[in-house]
């Protein structure tokens, strides 16, 4: 049971919130163009945005570029001011002191995931960016999926390769105000890289790129989902609301839990949704029933469900109350397998649940 | 007991297959995210590569940057159409066909042509171009996708009238997301880059609310990921086909058993939503989908005319979404449906919670509960219209 006063922030929390907001206001804003491979058009989109901002009168400066650009980008660069990077042998790094002295409103940095040459004040480029943000300069930058520490394992599973650099988990979560996904078909990004000669290798490569592309889209979607939730919370809407599916599987000692649980898991995965399993406490369970129930709940936990034991005089009320609290979109229930009077009681409960679950889909599973 | 008197088998289109020519869809989540700009940028690149490209239709909306992007591209003049004392400009499909570029840019796929046009929807014009072997690049917003119509209504409270059927988008070789942050979009709107000032103000109070835009953006990202996944699955099975491998040989096969979905069609207005859900589920699961209605045995006139018309309309809608339709005869709807489901190895039955028409009164009130009771061996899904509800528990 959620207590209303527990949702109201304490004075300390409010103060911390205000300090955070003040700090945020002084800080520059970070906008990240996220792509899944080289050649999807991140640099173009970023530099073109810089050009448009400059034409609108914003003070925009380019602080880091990539070594080679196609014609459409070369057409933009002359229309932007560039602060040359520092060169150390083959590698380049941002001239942070020069940028801070020049103090533009917006710094464009093509390629966030670089290590700085040894001996640089900051070992990583993302630390340079942090420094610029702290100095009140907004940064627009580009990054590929595989350089995010958060996604390294997943990317490695797809590509079999581990990226040499990484942006730490916390950096994007806490610093990035905006994230934009740069999407393009895998076949097009393939044309930019070294294209494998034989057809099978090419198809395999295209398949890998497609999976990375899907990952980029879903990562962006989940970032957006968090934004939506915090927006709604800050506007006093506490009910989870959006495009995510939230699935609640109701188990009883005798429901065919395995099929429902597996299906719930699959559905939640497919829709990138949340997956809950609930059991409403019943009095006087036989030992056998308790064992089966335990087995079902263990299996639910194994499948990664958030398991809730509910109590209440009325099972249907308890389930629906929980469902509305969590913003459940689908309830899975099973026909009971039990014979006799209890079955009639259960089927009566199923009927009532169907009747009362306004706004929620009810999925009744066969034996 | 029941007999099937109407069979409609649409030819199923597979993902990314639209004959020889290719369709590429730029998908956005609102006006102003930069779909047209991106499409024209790509057209310019193709032109630089020496490709034969023409713009069949583009909507500048007075946006300076977009207009600049079109410079140097061949524009095929629009057709001027007179209607009810006004003049309208439409894409000139005939002129495009006679010009016959290799690739044609067509903005605003969901557009409805002015009455009296040869085809009522722009996507139908695009189909004609594709059939003629012309590649098409086009743009649309997520809220115009037919199967998401209910979800978009639930998010925004706005019922989008102009829709593009999912099977058409499905036929595209590529669906590309054109992303922008909601903050950037709102700034563009405030600067007057999207609409004129007065319209912009109205837009911000309605559709362009930040929460709406954020939810639509998420929807568009997920839909693009989903479209990509469908194409991956299709191309993977395409790859397997030549070797005649049994499907069970692939461990990553998305489903072990073939699902068959039945959507119960009645006169109730919620049936349209149900059909969309069925279509969407079938796409996700790679399942067969049937839209089935039941009419009283022998004496069809026992149904009020307006109900018969509504059912006919729903069945027609199902056919438009490439869902197979069946009309069954039977005096007991629940029994007829369950009987049909058993004989056709249906694995899931979709029913709508709102079912209070004279139709259901005619067949007895609680069709849902009876089907749940009868079809114990089949999964029954009772679909709700997604709205925020005010549930009050009976026991405090």
pLDDT tens string B59-109 = 888 788 889 999 999 999 999 998 888 889 999 999 999 999 999 999 999
The answer to whether A146 touches A216, Cβ cutoff 8 Å, is no
Residues of B in Cβ contact (< 8 Å) with A317: 393-395
Is A107:A65 a contact under the CB 8 Å cutoff?
no
Instruction: Name the residue among A178, A218, A363 with its Cβ closest to that of B381.
Output: A363
List the one residue out of A367, A169, A125, A32 whose CA is nearest residue B372.
Answer: A367
Q: Do residues A251 and A277 make contact, with C-beta atoms less than 8 angstroms apart?
A: yes
% of chain A surpassing 70 pLDDT: 87
Q: Which two structure tokens, joined as six digits, stand for A209?
A: 């790129």
Out of A270, A317, A358, the one facing B395 most closely (by C-beta) is: A317
| Chain B residue whose CA is closest to A215 | B225
Distance CA B318, CA B296 (A): 21
Q: Are residues B164 and B280 in the same domain?
A: no
- When pLDDT is averaged across residues A283-288 and rounded to a whole number, the result is 82
Per-residue model confidence (pLDDT) at position A346 = 66
* Domains of chain A and CATH, by start: 26-234 (3.40.50.300), 246-365 (3.40.50.620)
Token code pair at residue A367: 């034996």
Q: Which residues pair with B295 in a beta bridge?
A: B329
Q: Are residues B302 and B227 in the same domain?
A: no
- pLDDT at residue A8, as a whole number: 61
Instruction: Among B187, B202, B234, identify where a domain stops.
Output: B234
CATH at residue B115: 3.40.50.300
Q: State the Cα–Cα distance between residues A123 and B155, nearest whole angstrom.
A: 45
- Residue-number span of the structural domain to which B84 is assigned: 23-234
What is the per-residue pLDDT for B292? 96
A358 vs B284, B375, B384: nearest CB: B384
C-beta atoms of B181 and A178 within 8 A:
yes
User: Do residues B210 and B357 share a domain?
Assistant: no
Task: Give the DSSP letter of residue B178.
Answer: B
**H or E segment to which residue B300 belongs:** none
Tell me the residues of chain B between 255 and 284 that have a Cβ less than 8 Å away from chain A: 284
In a domain, B217, yes or no: yes
| CB count in 10 Å sphere of residue A243 | 28
Which of B279, B371, B359, B372 lies closest to B319 in space, CA to CA?
B279
* Under 8 Å between Cβ of B141 and B29: yes
B347 touches chain A (CB under 8 A): no
Judge if B42 and B176 occupy the same domain: yes
Spacing of C-alpha A367 from chain mean position: 36
Q: Does residue B62 sit in the same domain as residue B122? A: yes
Confidence of residue B242 (pLDDT cuts 50, 70, 90): very low
B210 touches A: beta carbon within 8 Å: yes
> Would the pLDDT of B4 be above 60?
no
Give the distance from residue A286's alpha carbon to the nearest chain B alpha carbon, in angstroms.
26
pLDDT band of residue B387 (cuts 50, 70, 90) is low
**Does A239 sit within 8 Å of B179, measured CB to CB?**
no
pLDDT, residue A164, reads 82
Average pLDDT, chain B: 82
- Give the number of other Cβ atoms within 10 Å of residue A199's Cβ: 8
**What are A36-49's pLDDT values in tens digits?**
998 899 999 999 99
Whether B88 and chain A come into contact, CB under 8 Å, resolves to no
Chain B hits for A367, CB-CB cut-off 8 Å, are 376-377
Q: Would you state the torsion angle of the CA atoms of residues A128, A129, A130, A133, taken in this order, to the nearest 10 degrees?
A: 130
Is B229 in the same domain as B302?
no
In tens, the pLDDT along B175-215 reads 999 999 998 998 888 887 777 777 777 777 777 788 889 88
Q: Is the pLDDT of residue B139 over 90?
A: yes
Q: Which residues, listed in sequence order, are joined to residue B327 by a DSSP beta bridge?
A: B293
DSSP SS3 for B4 = strand
Same domain, B189 and B41: yes
- Helix crossing, B271-285 with B149-156: angle to 10°? 120
d(CA A209, CA A196): 13
Residue B17 lies in a domain: no
Determine the average pLDDT of the residues in B368-378.
86
**Based on the domain organization, do B153 and B94 belong to the same domain?**
yes
Closest Cα in chain B, distance from residue A163 (Å): 23
CA A360, distance to chain mean position in Å, is: 25
Q: What is the CATH number of the domain that holds B290?
A: 3.40.50.620
| Segments of chain B assigned E as strands | 23-28, 53-57, 74-75, 79-83, 86-90, 103-106, 135-141, 174-177, 260-264, 288-295, 324-329, 348-352, 379-383
pLDDT band at residue B44 under the 50/70/90 scheme = very high
Q: What are B303-358's pLDDT values in tens digits? A: 788 888 999 999 998 988 889 999 999 888 899 999 999 999 999 999 988 654 44
**Residue B352 CB neighbours (<10 A):** 25
Residue B129 lies in a domain: yes
d(CA A4, CA A212): 43
Closest to A312 measured CA to CA, from A250, A261, A256, A237: A250
Which of A55, A320, A343, A359 has the highest number of chain B CBs within 10 A, making it the mutation to test binding with B? A359
Domain-ending residue, one of B203, B234, B265: B234
Q: Judge residue A219's burial from the number of C-beta atoms within 10 Å of its C-beta, 0-12 exposed, 13-18 middle, 19 or more buried.
A: buried
In the stretch 108-137 of chain B, residues with CB closer than 8 A to chain A read none
Residues B71-104 as b or e (16 or more Cβ within 10 Å = b) = eebeebeebebeeeeeebebbbbeebbeeebebb
From B184, B199, B234, the end of a domain falls on B234
- Residue B161 token pair: 């009238």
Residue B228 lies in a domain: yes
Whether A50 has a pLDDT exceeding 90, the answer reads yes
Among the partner-chain residues B45, B179, B228, the one whose CB lies closest to the CB of A72 is B45
The domain total for chain B is 2
- Residues B188, B260, single domain; the answer is no
What average pLDDT does the segment A168-186 reach? Answer: 85
pLDDT digits (tens, 9 = 90+) for A71-109: 889 999 999 999 999 988 888 999 999 999 999 999 999
- What whole-number distance in Å separates Cα of residue A365 and Cα of residue A336? 9
């Amino acid at each position: 049971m959620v207590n209303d006063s527990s949702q109201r922030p304490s004075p300390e929390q409010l103060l911390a919130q205000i300090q955070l907001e003040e700090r945020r206001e002084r800080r520059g804003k970070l906008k990240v163009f996220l792509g899944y491979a080289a050649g999807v058009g991140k640099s173009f989109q970023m530099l073109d945005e810089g050009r448009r901002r400059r034409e609108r009168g914003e003070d925009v400066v380019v602080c880091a570029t990539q070594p080679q650009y196609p014609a459409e980008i070369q057409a933009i660069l002359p229309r932007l001011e560039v602060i040359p990077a520092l060169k150390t042998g083959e590698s380049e790094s941002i001239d942070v002191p020069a940028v801070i002295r020049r103090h533009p409103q917006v710094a464009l940095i093509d390629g966030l995931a670089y290590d700085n040459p040894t001996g640089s004040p900051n070992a990583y480029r993302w630390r340079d960016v942090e420094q610029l943000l702290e100095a009140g300069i907004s940064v627009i930058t580009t990054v590929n999926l595989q350089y995010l520490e958060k996604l390294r394992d997943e990317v490695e599973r797809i590509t079999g390769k581990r990226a040499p650099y990484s942006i730490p988990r916390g950096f994007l979560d806490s610093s990035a105000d905006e994230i934009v996904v740069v999407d393009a078909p895998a076949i097009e990004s393939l044309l930019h890289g070294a294209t494998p000669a034989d057809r099978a290798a090419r198809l395999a490569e295209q398949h890998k790129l497609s999976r990375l592309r899907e990952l980029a889209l879903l990562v962006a979607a989940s970032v957006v989902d968090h934004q939506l939730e915090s927006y709604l919370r800050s506007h006093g809407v506490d009910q989870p609301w959006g495009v995510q599916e939230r699935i609640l599987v109701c188990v009883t000692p005798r429901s065919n839990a395995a099929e429902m649980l597996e299906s719930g898991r699959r559905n939640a995965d497919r829709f990138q949704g949340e997956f809950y399993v609930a059991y409403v406490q019943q009095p006087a369970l036989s030992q056998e029933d308790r064992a089966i129930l335990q087995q079902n709940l263990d299996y639910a936990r194994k499948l990664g469900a958030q398991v809730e034991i509910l109590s209440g005089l009325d099972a249907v009320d308890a389930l629906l109350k929980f469902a509305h609290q969590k913003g459940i979109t689908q309830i899975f229930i099973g026909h009971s397998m039990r014979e006799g009077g209890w079955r009639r009681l259960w089927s009566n409960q199923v009927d009532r649940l169907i009747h009362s679950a306004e706004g929620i889909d009810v999925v009744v599973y066969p034996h | 007991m029941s007999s099937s008197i109407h069979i409609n088998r649409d030819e199923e289109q597979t993902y990314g297959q639209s004959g020889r020519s290719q369709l590429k869809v730029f998908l956005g989540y609102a006006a102003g995210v930069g779909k047209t700009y991106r499409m024209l940028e790509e057209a310019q690149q193709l032109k630089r590569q020496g490709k034969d490209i023409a713009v069949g239709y583009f909507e500048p909306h007075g946006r300076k940057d977009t207009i600049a992007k079109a410079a140097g591209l061949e524009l095929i003049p629009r057709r001027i159409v007179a209607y009810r004392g006004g003049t309208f400009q439409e894409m000139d499909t005939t002129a495009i066909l006679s010009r016959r570029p290799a690739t044609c840019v067509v903005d605003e796929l969901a557009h409805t042509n002015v009455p009296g046009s040869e085809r009522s929807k722009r996507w139908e014009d695009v189909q004609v171009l594709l059939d003629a072997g012309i590649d098409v690049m086009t743009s649309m917003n997520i809220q115009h996708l037919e199967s998401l119509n209910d979800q978009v209504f639930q998010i925004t409270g706005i019922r989008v009238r102009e829709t593009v059927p999912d099977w058409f988008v499905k036929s595209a070789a590529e669906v590309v997301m054109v992303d922008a942050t909601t903050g950037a979009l709102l700034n563009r709107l405030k600067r007057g880059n999207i609409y004129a000032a007065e319209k912009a103000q109205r837009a911000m109070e309605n559709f362009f609310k930040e929460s709406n835009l954020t939810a639509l953006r998420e929807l568009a990202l997920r839909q693009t990921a989903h479209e990509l996944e469908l194409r991956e699955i299709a191309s993977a099975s395409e790859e397997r086909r030549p070797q005649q491998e049994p499907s069970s040989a692939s461990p990553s096969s998305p489903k072990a058993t073939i699902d068959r979905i039945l959507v119960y069609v009645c006169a109730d207005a919620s049936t349209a939503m149900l059909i969309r859900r069925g279509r969407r589920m079938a796409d996700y699961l790679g399942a067969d989908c049937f839209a089935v209605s039941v009419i009283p045995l022998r004496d069809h006139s026992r149904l009020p005319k307006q109900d018969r018309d509504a059912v006919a309309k729903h069945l027609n809608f199902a056919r438009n979404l490439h869902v197979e339709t069946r009309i069954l005869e039977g005096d007991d709807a629940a029994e007829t449906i369950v009987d049909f489901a058993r004989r056709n190895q249906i694995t899931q039955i979709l029913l709508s919670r709102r079912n209070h028409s004279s139709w259901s009164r005619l067949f007895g009130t609680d069709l849902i509960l009876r089907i749940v009771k009868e079809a114990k061996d089949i999964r029954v899904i009772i679909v709700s219209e997604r709205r925020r509800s005010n549930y009050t528990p009976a026991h405090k």
